[in-house]
């Protein structure tokens, strides 16, 4: 009987077992420190400018710790970021509605379509997959003109539009309850059930809120609304969500679903209680990318929206640049930039463990 002796890896060795010399380790560590400094320095510089109380029109010196640092710039941004009669809270609420709606809708529809493409064989499947892929290849900027013309042609009475939004929200809320409530009542609800319930609840409440919000004009123009911008964004986010989720669902063994069916599980139970929990990393990646894209979206919003009450944070940040940029202190611009980036960073930190798994396993099959 032969025996194998495991030799401990020596200090300074690589995954292949080759020992690095001291000067090679020193060079690698110096490169890593240089990359870290290159990434962190602009962030520290922006934070330093946001704390500068001198209200300078342009940075003139390299000073990471400004004299008399204060939070005055943040207070000014939170009160009224730009000359438009809109507060930071209103801008943030618009951005949350846009980013959250796009992320939730693309997840809700994308995971259903991805599961169908991954598990079922039906006529036209290959053609539809290629068509979805072709949409992801098309640059989003190239679709601005046709989307503008299409959405601008849709004009509905504001009263009718309010009724349509409320009815759509109530119908979606009823479907969500119908799909989730039985599993909760029987005590067999899993993470997938709660996930779909939360997404459906967010979208339905958003539709109801939109219908109850007082109209600003007698005619509702879909192009000049956050709903229109969201629909335009979903047209680009949904194909990506479908392909990203399909690649991950292909890695889930079908034997798990077959075993559940043999044990008496229904197709809905297989999808909600087996497939969705296993696909949590891919759902986290897709949801995060959809939220980040909606939060920082600028091109469509800038071309479509005209009412400052519908502006987003990204649009207001752009208003601080241009021909009137000299009148806005750099401290306010820096403070606004930090406040704009914080939500995306927080969402990433909350979903970090799932995002890492989704990025590393989504492209692996078998």
Task: Please give the pLDDT value at position 115.
Answer: 92
Within 8 A by CB and 6+ apart from 110, the residues are: 238, 241, 242, 244, 245, 286
pLDDT at position 32: 94
Q: Please name the residues in contact with 313: beta carbons below 8 A apart, sequence gap of 6 or more.
A: 88, 91, 92, 94, 95, 295, 336, 339, 340
DSSP three-state, residue 13: strand
Cα separation, 152 vs 172, whole angstroms: 26
How far is the C-alpha of 359 from the C-alpha of 362, rounded, in Å? 6
pLDDT at 356: 66
First to last CA, the chain: 34
Averaged over successive runs of 10 residues, the pLDDT of the chain (366 residues) comes to: 47 57 88 92 85 72 74 85 83 90 88 90 87 82 86 87 88 82 71 73 83 79 88 89 89 88 84 84 86 88 88 86 67 88 85 66 47
Q: Is the pTM of this model over 0.75?
A: yes
- State both tokens at 111: 């995971």
Task: Please check whether residue 320 is in contact with residue 333, taking contact to mean a CB–CB distance below 8 angstroms.
Answer: yes
* Helix runs in 138-219, H state only: 144-152, 158-186, 191-212
Distance separating alpha carbons of residues 236 and 239, to the nearest angstrom:
6
C-alpha dihedral, 215 to 218 to 222 to 224, nearest 10°: -70
- What residue ranges do the domains of the chain occupy? 40-362
Q: How far from chain centre, in Å, is Cα 106?
A: 10
One-character DSSP codes across 88-101: HHHHHHHHHHHHHH
Q: What is the pLDDT of residue 357?
A: 61
CA–CA dist 147, 323 (Å, integer): 29
Q: Which residue has the tokens 């091109």?
A: 299
CATH superfamily of 40-362: MetI-like (1.10.3720.10)
* Residue 229, Cβ density class (10 Å: 0-12 exposed, 13-18 middle, ≥19 buried): buried
Token digits of residue 10: 């020596």
CA gap 331, 50 in Å, rounded: 4
- Rounded to the nearest angstrom, the gap between the alpha carbon of residue 250 and the centroid of all alpha carbons in its chain is 23
Report the run of H or E that residue 156 belongs to, with start and end. strand 155-157
Task: Give the span between the Cα atoms of 189 and 41, in whole angstroms.
Answer: 47
């Amino acid at each position: 009987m032969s025996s194998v002796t495991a030799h401990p890896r020596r200090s300074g060795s690589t995954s292949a077992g080759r020992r690095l010399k001291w000067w090679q380790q020193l060079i690698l560590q110096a490169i890593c420190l240089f990359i870290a400094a290159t990434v962190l320095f602009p962030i520290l510089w922006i934070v330093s400018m946001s704390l500068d109380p001198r209200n300078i029109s342009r940075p003139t010196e390299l000073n990471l710790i400004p004299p008399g640092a204060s939070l005055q710039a943040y207070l000014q941004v939170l009160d009224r970021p730009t000359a438009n009669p809109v507060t930071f809270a209103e801008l943030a609420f618009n951005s949350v509605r846009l980013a959250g709606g796009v992320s939730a809708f693309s997840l809700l529809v994308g995971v259903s379509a991805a599961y169908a493409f991954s598990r079922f064989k039906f006529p036209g499947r290959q053609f539809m997959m290629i068509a979805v892929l072709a949409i992801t290849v098309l640059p989003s900027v190239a679709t601005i003109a046709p989307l503008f013309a299409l959405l601008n042609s849709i004009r509905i009475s504001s009263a009718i539009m309010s009724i349509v939004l409320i009815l759509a929200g109530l119908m979606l809320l009823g479907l969500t309850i119908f799909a989730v409530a039985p599993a909760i009542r029987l005590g067999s609800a899993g993470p997938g059930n709660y996930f779909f319930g939360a997404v459906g609840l967010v979208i339905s409440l958003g539709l109801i809120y939109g219908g109850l919000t007082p109209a600003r004009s007698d005619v509702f123009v879909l192009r000049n609304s956050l709903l229109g911008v969201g629909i335009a964004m979903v047209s680009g986010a949904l194909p990506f969500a479908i392909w990203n989720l399909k690649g991950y669902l292909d890695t889930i063994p079908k034997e798990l679903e077959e075993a559940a069916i043999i044990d008496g599980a229904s197709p809905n139970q297989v999808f909600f209680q087996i497939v969705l929990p296993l696909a949590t990393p891919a759902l986290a990646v897709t949801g995060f990318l959809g939220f980040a894209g909606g939060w920082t979206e600028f091109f469509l919003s800038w071309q479509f929206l005209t009412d400052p009450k519908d502006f987003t944070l990204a649009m207001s940040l752009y208003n601080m640049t241009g021909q009137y940029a000299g009148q806005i202190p750099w401290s306010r611009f820096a403070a606004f930039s930090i406040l704009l980036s914080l939500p995306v960073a927080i969402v990433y930190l909350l979903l970090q463990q799932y995002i890492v798994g989704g990025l590393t396993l989504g492209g692996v099959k078998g």
